[in-house]
Chains A and B, each alone.
Chain A
Amino acid sequence: DIQMTQSPSSLSASVGDRVTVSCRASQSISNYLNWYQQKPGKVPKLLIYAASSLQSGVPSRFSGSGSGTDFTLTISSLQLEDFATYYCQQSYTTPPTFGQGTKLDIK
């Protein structure tokens, strides 16, 4: 199975900050990398698919980049509603695998 490793595991930031979350795959996955946001008690929400494509309805302050094994999720200017846990997921091959999550909280 392909292992997905996110860093950092947790992150404190302030409203207005620029934030980046990293995700590394244990082997090349081309651009088959997706990002999700999950708030406590809520369902995961797709933010970015195919490494850099913004899902419909997601604010443009979210962006994704990378290919091969190294990927990044960037939030350009944090808003209050962005404090959540973020997961990366590879869809290159079955089984799909998720990173362990990055919890973003308020500094």
Chain B
Amino acid sequence: QIQLVQSGAEVKRPGASVKVSCRASGYSFTFYYIHWVRQAPGQGLEWVGFIDPSGASTSYAQMFQGRLTLTRDTSTSTVYMELTSLTSDDTATYYCARVRGPLLADDAFDIWGQGTMVTVSS
């Protein structure tokens, strides 16, 4: 079946970096953009960025410019999110999500990963 499987929970010190993976299966990986969305404890959903798995073009939310890198490995159908210079404000569950329509950057998110909790604490 179509699914996105993310890597496990992370605990990081302030100033460190984290790299979260999202492995896709059950569909043509390069046809569907992957977005990242985060949710701080008890808060709403916040868009982080997206990557086009076919050509690797990316777009990042303004607040993460300079700290965020999205990459992909087509040989393993995996997308990676790396966030640097972590602060306590980055403590959140990070979700990868697939868009519903092929070759569309902007669309509804129909398939979600299970989420990866990133905790930033000294």
List residues of chain A with CB under 8 Å of any chain B CB: 32, 34, 36, 38, 43-46, 49-50, 55, 87, 89, 91-101
Contact = CB atoms under 8 A, between A and B. Distances in A.
Contacts of A95: 47, 59, 61-62
A44 B106 contact: no
The interface size bin for chain B is 20 to 34
B114 A94 contact: no
B100 interface: yes
Contact of B106 (A36, A45, A92, A100): A92
Contacts of A45: 112
Interface of B: 35, 37, 44-47, 50, 59, 61-62, 95, 97, 100, 105-110, 112-115
A32 B114 contact: no
Given A92-B106, A95-B59, 9 more contacts: A43-B115, A44-B95, A50-B108, A55-B108, A89-B108, A89-B109, A96-B106, A99-B44, A100-B44
A49 B108 contact: yes
Given A49-B100, A95-B61, A96-B35, A44 B47 contact: no
